[in-house]
Amino acid sequence: MNYEKIGLFVKILEFSLIASPVIMIIIQKIKETIKINSNVFKYLSAILSLVLGFISAKLFSDFSTLNCFVCGVIVYAGADTIYKSLEDKKILSSINDIQN
């Protein structure tokens, strides 16, 4: 077993778990500010999560570019999961609620 790669993956997961809620809050604030169609915003938030995850990993870590991209994907999955669970519990408002 290659323990160095496992250690690197754990570091990527740790970074992504910390960055996901922060990026989710940023996306929520953008959603409240911009009036946009809900279908368009789903794609926009996915792209924004990936990009912000990549940029934050690039700025605040010493990961390679490929590992920063992996961070972006994990941040997207984490932020999306957190957002949907909070939206279901009516803690965060959905884009349709904001438009109404």
Per residue in 6-45, pLDDT (tens digit) is 899 889 988 988 888 888 888 878 877 887 777 787 788 8
pLDDT in the model for residue 17 = 84
Residue 33: the pLDDT is 84
Range 69-73 contact pairs with CB under 8 angstroms and sequence separation of 24 or more: 70/12, 71/12, 71/15, 71/16, 71/19
Q: Give the C-alpha separation, 88 to 94, whole Å.
A: 9
Tokens of 27: 């996306």
pTM of the entire structure?
Answer: 0.74
Q: For residue 94, what is the enclosing H or E element? A: none
What is the Cα–Cα distance from 48 to 6, expressed in whole angstroms?
A: 28
Yes or no: say if 52 and 29 are a contact pair by the CB < 8 Å rule.
no
- pLDDT for residue 95 is more than 70: no
